[in-house]
Structure 1
């Protein structure tokens, strides 16, 4: 007989005193509407505020507001489209305020710059006050940030107290006695926390059979629930099922006009998170992508050349003065050249302003440490401000380095850590950089222990897996900010 039963999991269904009348999935739509309202309202308010307080003019009539209002609608539509494409409106992103706020800001900057450029090219820029535009840009960014923060807090509290609108689901579970019960319970608890009310629970075998009374009873029960308006979705949580059983199950469920979702076992999560790509006439799962496509490599290289060329042209007087100070401070060459491992394991000579009395480049290289007697007087200042790295702009022009990338280590250190850390050599999949994600997240300087090096490598690999031009720009700005503060670097 089919095991058709009401579901009464311990401490899974919440009964709060009040609920927010939104399901978990609806939060994304609500946030999109809120963002659109914020963009349109701040556009109108900025024009009115600037006209009244700064230009000392009378408040504009409606006919004078048509252009700013129209521009606000267009910017709002562009923002929503790009934010949706970047996954900003996924409910899960609301729970990651720090990361998402950065996405919101970069999205708003990009949309605003695009709109400004379009207005300039269409020769309609004279219809908009520059002061009002600046005010609109600032207030728009603040409003979007406040909306996102408030929505995130509301959703977090709703999840914590079970205050979401309930979505009624039927759960089809593993009937294999060897299936891990703890994983299923974790999934059930997570579903309940996120606003799902489990109204029925079925063993998978009852519905996966092609014939038999059990499958008919379970299917008819689901049909009755749906007719009575007590079923919104069917969720399959049966990782032990094979493809034949899953096909049979879908055959049984196709008469029920509701959404059916499958939660895979953990071994399949990795594959499902990877992108599908065309290969011949078919498709394949891309298990590992190149860090940069050919087009992205070209763009990154052009940016490197532009930054390095402009930097050398702008900074050569200062670099010349530093060279003179180094020669006056201590005997030895101006530049320090050391073998480092670069892209695809190719060895090159990195250039730095010399900041020590010695220049190790053999099989054993001693890292700089606090109170290191080898550091010269001018060298201490050069290292604390990172000015000793400026000659690496030449390495960038040569194509040996990039502005942003994993920092290259001495060849001697590479040999040591390659034997200690299995994933160390994966750093060579991207050109090394003058600055990198590890450096701006607190892993700059001496790596006194293997654990510290492992954490630095972990940050480097995260950068490689998540590379984008936006991330590079973010790292550049964070580097500039950190360089402006003279820190305790040795």
Structure 2
């Protein structure tokens, strides 16, 4: 059947991808040696072959050679980087413990490591652009069907229409007998299509759907099953309410007799999912709803990122911090460092450090936020707050492990207790460590939160950061902070 041929083809492509990676790694090594005017000796060739074999092995845990059709290039690049950096570290360790490291040029090794990563990422980007072009022009496509005329199904249809570069061509909707269309389906459908749709209030009228992008209801469950068995469907999306668990189980059992790839698209939770994932406890399958993305290897990588950046920042900024400390001491009475209790990871209380910028040091049950022309803010403190330089001592919080370089900004305990019952999902911000800078701050939601709307927007960006977290996303936020994050009109 067609699906079987597709899977074999994918395996062949994975082998070709491995070959291209190997050739690139060796070719880049050869170029680096040529530029450095060094001969390609047997030792260099052995190191290159070891790197190729190690890269193929390291690529398996991050699933580098799977299909990336529906994933972002950033995720693909992250997987590529993790695999290659692991290889580089392995080669350095081997060179160190065998004592052979001094026999190889550090300049060549450094250029090879960096250039290979650029080459591995560049050819993947070029291939991705080529595949997207082909898919837009109806090449390298997959045939898909949606079971169930529901809001989630219609939303998926719109998403597929808006992203033709995915190469997923929707064959149509298939009506499931006994499952009436939901009450808001008609409204959602009209909003998606942009014109008059058939009355979907009754499942009996499902075959009158004009469809999304010209795709309508093309049959029922039995016809969908027959199409999948004939190899006419590559992807099947079950878009039924989670309350129809029995019917979903029947559909899964039925399509197990086909080679179509089946996806479940339940209409529960919506955007409230926070790093959800399936895992097993014995024979029980469990779906986590509110989880943290920073655990396991991600936790180690995040901690490494924090330690490296915080250490470098402290070394580079220590003269500036000494000048600021002197300025705080000379400009007003009181300690140089202001300490305040705030919520950290898991809702635990931590003590956050700042350069003192106010004449008061509030840390009780009631903490009044600074406002425009606040008399409590010193003249020097106003400069520090406007430029965010008062936050620099939090680099020590990062080294202590209380905070991260990037994450949701920590709020005073009093403010947490004030807003946790007013803003939905507020406490989910604490599924990761608080940060010196964050996604909300670089998007302008920094400073005073004198309205519920402002705090809601900040929380919205914080949760979006947790959902999208990656090391590359952290680096992007750090770069944005360097360019525009140190000055804000909202910081008083």
- TM-score normalised to the size of structure 2? 0.66
Q: Work out whether residues 442 and 484 of structure 2, in 8 Å CA contact, stay in contact via their aligned partners in 1.
A: no
Alpha-carbon distance between aligned partners in 2 of 1:265 and 1:97, rounded to the nearest angstrom: 26
Closer, same or farther in 2 for the Cα pair 1:118/1:393, shift >3 Å?
same
Closer, same or farther in 2 for the Cα pair 1:24/1:488, shift >3 Å?
farther
1:467 Cα deviation after fit: 6.2
Alpha-carbon distance between aligned partners in 2 of 1:296 and 1:182, rounded to the nearest angstrom: 31
1:407 Cα deviation after fit: 1.9
1:156-195 map, 5 Å: 156-161=132-137, 163-167=138-142, 173=147, 179-180=149-150, 183=153, 187=157, 190=160, 195=167
The alignment covers a number of residue pairs equal to 439
1:263 Cα deviation after fit: 4.7
Alpha-carbon distance between aligned partners in 2 of 1:26 and 1:249, rounded to the nearest angstrom: 27
Q: Work out whether residues 255 and 262 of structure 2, in 8 Å CA contact, stay in contact via their aligned partners in 1.
A: no
Alpha-carbon distance between aligned partners in 2 of 1:289 and 1:400, rounded to the nearest angstrom: 19
1:442-457 map, 5 Å: 442-447=444-449, 449-457=451-459
The answer on 1:350 being equivalent to 2:320 is no
Unaligned runs of 5+ in 1: 1-21, 207-214
Closer, same or farther in 2 for the Cα pair 1:52/1:99, shift >3 Å?
closer
- Within the candidate set 342, 367, 370, 2:370 is matched to 367
Alpha-carbon distance between aligned partners in 1 of 2:483 and 2:224, rounded to the nearest angstrom: 67
1:210 corresponds to = none
Q: Work out whether residues 350 and 395 of structure 1, in 8 Å CA contact, stay in contact via their aligned partners in 2.
A: yes
2:123 corresponds to = 147
Alpha-carbon distance between aligned partners in 2 of 1:296 and 1:196, rounded to the nearest angstrom: 31
1:9 corresponds to = none
1:43 corresponds to = 25
Question: Tell me, what secondary structure is at the counterpart of 1:277?
Answer: strand
Q: Deviations over 1:371-397 (max 9, x none)?
A: 766554543554455442244456567
Q: Work out whether residues 356 and 374 of structure 1, in 8 Å CA contact, stay in contact via their aligned partners in 2.
A: yes
1:247-262 map, 5 Å: 258-259=259-260, 261=262
Q: Considering only aligned residues, what root-mean-square deviation do their CA atoms show, in Å?
A: 5.2
Q: Work out whether residues 29 and 48 of structure 2, in 8 Å CA contact, stay in contact via their aligned partners in 1.
A: no
Q: Work out whether residues 31 and 151 of structure 1, in 8 Å CA contact, stay in contact via their aligned partners in 2.
A: no
Closer, same or farther in 2 for the Cα pair 1:204/1:234, shift >3 Å?
farther
Q: Work out whether residues 43 and 140 of structure 1, in 8 Å CA contact, stay in contact via their aligned partners in 2.
A: yes
2:240 corresponds to = 239
Alpha-carbon distance between aligned partners in 1 of 2:392 and 2:151, rounded to the nearest angstrom: 58
1:153 Cα deviation after fit: 2.0
1:353 Cα deviation after fit: 1.4
Question: Tell me, what secondary structure is at the counterpart of 1:108?
Answer: helix
Q: Deviations over 1:52-94 (max 9, x none)?
A: 3333x5x537x56632441342243145324416x8742112x
1:427 corresponds to = 429
More RCO (CA 8 Å, sep 6+): 1
1:264 Cα deviation after fit: 4.1
1:57-456 map, 5 Å: 57=38, 59-60=39-40, 63=42, 66-84=45-63, 89-93=67-71, 96-126=72-102, 128-161=104-137, 163-167=138-142, 173=147, 179-180=149-150, 183=153, 187=157, 190=160, 195=167, 226=230, 231=232, 233=234, 235=236, 237=238, 239=240, 258-259=259-260, 261=262, 263-267=264-268, 274-279=276-281, 282-289=284-291, 319=321, 321-343=323-345, 345=347, 349-361=351-363, 363=366, 365-369=368-372, 375-380=377-382, 382-383=384-385, 386-392=388-394, 401=403, 405-439=407-441, 442-447=444-449, 449-456=451-458
Closer, same or farther in 2 for the Cα pair 1:166/1:384, shift >3 Å?
closer
Alpha-carbon distance between aligned partners in 2 of 1:460 and 1:72, rounded to the nearest angstrom: 39
Unaligned runs of 5+ in 2: 179-219
Q: Work out whether residues 239 and 267 of structure 2, in 8 Å CA contact, stay in contact via their aligned partners in 1.
A: no
Closer, same or farther in 2 for the Cα pair 1:36/1:373, shift >3 Å?
farther
Q: Work out whether residues 440 and 475 of structure 1, in 8 Å CA contact, stay in contact via their aligned partners in 2.
A: no
Q: Work out whether residues 388 and 487 of structure 2, in 8 Å CA contact, stay in contact via their aligned partners in 1.
A: no
Closer, same or farther in 2 for the Cα pair 1:327/1:88, shift >3 Å?
farther
Q: Work out whether residues 27 and 91 of structure 1, in 8 Å CA contact, stay in contact via their aligned partners in 2.
A: no
Alpha-carbon distance between aligned partners in 2 of 1:319 and 1:91, rounded to the nearest angstrom: 48
Q: Work out whether residues 408 and 440 of structure 2, in 8 Å CA contact, stay in contact via their aligned partners in 1.
A: yes
Closer, same or farther in 2 for the Cα pair 1:151/1:441, shift >3 Å?
farther
Closer, same or farther in 2 for the Cα pair 1:98/1:28, shift >3 Å?
farther
1:133 Cα deviation after fit: 1.8
Alpha-carbon distance between aligned partners in 1 of 2:62 and 2:281, rounded to the nearest angstrom: 30
Closer, same or farther in 2 for the Cα pair 1:135/1:306, shift >3 Å?
closer
